[in-house]
Each structure stands twice: as C-alpha cells, then as structure tokens.
Amino acid sequence: MTHTIPATLIPGDGIGPEIVDATLAALDALQAPFDWDRQAAGLAGVVAGGDPLPAATLDSIRRTRLALKGPLETPSGGGYRSSNVRLREEFQLYANLRPALTIVPGGRYDKIDLVVVRENLEGLYIGHEHYIPIDGDPHAVAMATGVNTRQGSRRLLEFAFNNAVATGRKKVTIVHKANIMKALTGIFLETGLDLYEKKYKGRFELDTVIIDACAMKLVLNPWQFDMLVTTNLFGDILSDLVAGLVGGLGMAPGANIGVDAAIFEAVHGSAPDIAGKGIANPIALLLAAAMMLDHCRMHDKATRLRTAIDETLNIDKVRTGDLGGSANTAAFTKALVSRIANG
Ligand code: NAI
C-alpha cells in the first residue's frame, strides 16, 4: 500500500486556482503522495459561506498540520482582517522563510542566492489599530501598536540561525531600525546579538544593518548578503524587494513554519489584474511545493521539480509573459509536466 500524506489544499482567490491547478499537475507527475483535503478561505470563503476563514478550513489544517495555499484576497482599509495573518496566528507560524534564487540567467541581477527570514507573528502586524475621531472626522488620527517580545524574537532568530547552519549559509544579517524604534526593533537586535555570542559564534558571520541602508545596499550590491533575518513589517517589504532581484513575484516562494503546522505559498497576492486570463506564472507556487516536499523529507522529488522548472525555462525556453516569454499558464505547465515525466 502506498503511504499517503494528508495535506490541506486552499486554492485561494484571483489567480490562485489557476496556479494551484498547475502545481497539482506537477505534483501528480512526480507521484507526490499527498492526500489533499480541499478547503476555502479568503474571498472564496466569503462567497461560499460568508467567512474568510471557515471553521472547516481550520479543522482541516489542525488535522493535517500541512497546507499548500493559493493567495487570499484581503480588502484594503476596511473589510475583514487578513486570513493570512489569522492563519499565522492560529497555528503559531512564527517563521516565514522566503528564498530568492536566480533561475533565469541574464537578468538585471545574475546569480542571486538569498534568503529572507521574517518574524511572522509580532511587530506592527498584530492588528492593534484604531482611529480617534476629532471634530466630525472619524479618521482624524490613526494609531497602531507594535509588540515584539524577547521570546518571540528569540525563537525566530534561533530558527534562522539553525537554518543558516543546516544550509551552509556563510553570513547572516540582522535587519533593524533600532536607531529610531529603539525598543520595538532594539529588542530584536539585542536578542540576536546575544544569541549569536552565546550559541552560534564562529559557525557563520553575523552582521547588522539598518533597514533603509539595507534596501539601498540590496539594490546596489545584493551579493554582499546571504541570509537576512528581520521583524515582520521589514521582512514583508524586503521579501518583495529580493523577489524583484530574481525576476519578480512570479519566482518567489514562501514557507510559514510554526509550532502547530507548516503552510506553503507564493509570496505574491491574488493578482486581480490578470486573474481569469490564464497567463499567471505558476513558478512561485511550484517552488513553494518544492519547499513542502523538502519539509516532508521527499528531497528527491523536490530536486526533480526544481530541475524540471530550470530546464523548462532555460532549455525549452518556455516562459510566461512576466518573464518576457509568450507562454500562458497551461502551455508552461504542459512543458513542465513533460520535463518531469521524461526526467
Ligand atoms: P499581487 O502580488 O497580487 O500583484 C502585484 C503585481 O504582480 C500585479 O501586477 C500582478 O499581476 C503581478 N503578479 C503577481 N503574481 C503574479 C504571477 N504569479 N504571475 C504574473 N504576474 C504576477 O499584489 P496586490 O495586487 O497588491 O494584491 C492583490 C491581493 O492579494 C490583495 O487583496 C492582497 O491583500 C492579496 N495578497 C495576498 C497574499 C497572500 O495570500 N499570501 C500576499 C500578498 C497580497
């Protein structure tokens, strides 16, 4: 009997179902033994049952502790709270791992191999926000509270440092703004420096940089970095920046790793501007699926998937529009599946 791995599948919104279909086709070709439990969230959850994070979806992840997720739409300003943030909180997915690796050579930046490790639960994303009405203007003043804890910073930094050691990273850079937000981001910096001194000294080089200088340095000379580890908001912004260094959001996968579960997804959102047109680049979610295979110790299948993506892009030259090609999602997927089948 074949051993199967129960996993939750959330197709998501916008281009989500299109890129999820492409990813399932690749995983089927690899004979990945996932036993999918398909569930709704985001706008799809609202449309289906009035809830952006239905109880059935939470129950499913509680059971499987493993999910592959398409992007979920979140209204800006008002409306419901981000289902992504709620999923991270519910399953204590404290570490967000976002690698950026050049697969298509000859772009503006070549040979990039960087990873951003972002704290996923604390900081300015905890949702403690409110307005103060003055003189009939309900939004006269906006306030937000950020919270970083010693324990939260420490477990994320420990995750990052352990990952750096396990994957042979030479240098880790702590990104902060402790010159201005002395307490909020100072605690993260202080905890990282202390942890390194006590447990990791000599196993890799540790550096620190202020977020604004980091953004400039990443654009001028990204090769000076290896792993960036930072707080929630800075990590969110920097991971899009590093995605831009390797060809855009279509190439950037992410893993949300926690105490109670692991959820794999693309860094990008639901791309409403191209949804339904069949032209989305599915590679970010495919690379997330490769991370999921690694997480489940199916390293051979993960490598076969990454190799097939590389060959489809660089030998067959089949690329979607965001990479300067003319293939649609279906044509790319067909070429990828035949690479996997013949690999
Ligand atoms: P977005 O990432 O959806 O799109 C930004 C730009 O990149 C658009 O021009 C889009 O067409 C393009 N793009 C993104 N993915 C692509 C792909 N795979 N292939 C080709 N082009 C691609 O960001 P946006 O428009 O700011 O957000 C749209 C919605 O997605 C919002 O509701 C937002 O809250 C949500 N979102 C969800 C995320 C998640 O579920 N993890 C992450 C980021 C945003």
Check which CATH number belongs to the domain holding 313 and give it. Answer: 3.40.718.10
Under 8 Å CB-to-CB from 202, ≥6 apart: which residues? none
Ligand 1 centroid–CA 332 distance in Å is 20
| Three-state SS at 272 | coil
**233 and 109 share a domain?**
yes
Ligand 1 centroid–CA 273 distance in Å is 9
CB-CB contact of 246 with 256 (8 Å) = no
Counting atoms of ligand 1 from 1, which one is nearest the CA of 19? 18
According to the model, what pLDDT value does residue 75 have? 81
For the beta carbon of residue 156, count every other beta carbon within 10 angstroms.
28
Helix 16-29 with 283-295: angle, nearest 10 deg = 50
Q: To the nearest whole number, what is the mean pLDDT of the chain?
A: 96
Which residue among 248, 270, 292 closes a domain?
248
Under 8 Å CB-to-CB from 22, ≥6 apart: which residues? 282, 285, 286, 329, 330, 332, 333, 336
Q: Say yes or no to pLDDT of 60 above 90.
A: yes
**70 and 145 share a domain?**
no
**66 and 99 share a domain?**
no
**169 and 243 share a domain?**
yes
50-56 mean pLDDT: 94
**241 and 303 share a domain?**
no
Distance CA 197, CA 126 (A): 30
User: What is residue 13's DSSP assignment?
Assistant: S
Sign of CA dihedral 285, 260, 85, 45: positive
> Which amino acid residue places its CA nearest to atom 32 of ligand 1?
73
Q: Is 207 a catalytic residue?
A: no
Q: Which of 309, 302, 249 lies closest to 280, judged by CA?
A: 249
According to the model, what pLDDT value does residue 78 have? 74
Distance CA 256, CA 165 (A): 19
Which domain range does residue 241 map to?
A: 95-248
Judge whether 254 lies within some domain. no
> Which amino acid residue places its CA nearest to atom 42 of ligand 1?
269
For residue 101, the number of C-alpha atoms closer than 13 Å in the C-beta half-sphere is: 13
Helix 150-166 with 186-195: angle, nearest 10 deg = 50
**100 and 241 share a domain?**
yes
Distance CA 157, CA 151 (A): 10
**Facing residues of 171 across strands?**
205
Single-letter amino acid code for the residue at 228: L
According to the model, what pLDDT value does residue 144 have? 95
Judge whether 242 lies within some domain. yes
216-238 mean pLDDT: 97
According to the model, what pLDDT value does residue 320 have? 97
* 257 touches ligand 1 (CB under 6 Å): no
- Higher pLDDT residue, 116 or 49? 116
**110 and 220 share a domain?**
yes
27-39 mean pLDDT: 98
Ligand 1 centroid–CA 16 distance in Å is 10
Judge whether 170 lies within some domain. yes
Judge whether 255 lies within some domain. no
12, 15, 21, 24: CA torsion to nearest 10: -70
User: In the structure, what pLDDT confidence band is assigned to residue 291 with cuts at 50, 70 and 90?
Assistant: very high
**104 and 220 share a domain?**
yes
**318 and 175 share a domain?**
no
Q: What are phi and psi of 20, to 5 degrees?
A: -70, -40
- Total domains in the chain come to 2
Q: Say yes or no to pLDDT of 189 above 70.
A: yes
According to the model, what pLDDT value does residue 130 have? 96
* 84 touches ligand 1 (CB under 6 Å): yes
Do β-strands 171-176 and 137-147 pair in parallel, antiparallel, or remain unpaired?
unpaired
> Which amino acid residue places its CA nearest to atom 31 of ligand 1?
73
User: In the structure, what pLDDT confidence band is assigned to residue 76 with cuts at 50, 70 and 90?
Assistant: confident
**311 and 292 share a domain?**
yes
**197 and 184 share a domain?**
yes
How big is the CA angle at 25 (ends 22 and 31), to the nearest 5 degrees? 145
User: In the structure, what pLDDT confidence band is assigned to residue 260 with cuts at 50, 70 and 90?
Assistant: confident
**132 and 214 share a domain?**
yes
Q: Which of 101, 103, 94 lies closest to 115, judged by CA?
A: 101
Q: Is 199 a catalytic residue?
A: no
Q: Which of 25, 139, 99, 147 lies closest to 264, judged by CA?
A: 99
According to the model, what pLDDT value does residue 85 have? 87
According to the model, what pLDDT value does residue 2 have? 63
Which residue among 216, 248, 280 closes a domain?
248
19, 23, 69, 268, best to mutate for ligand 1 pocket (most atoms within 8 Å of CB)? 268
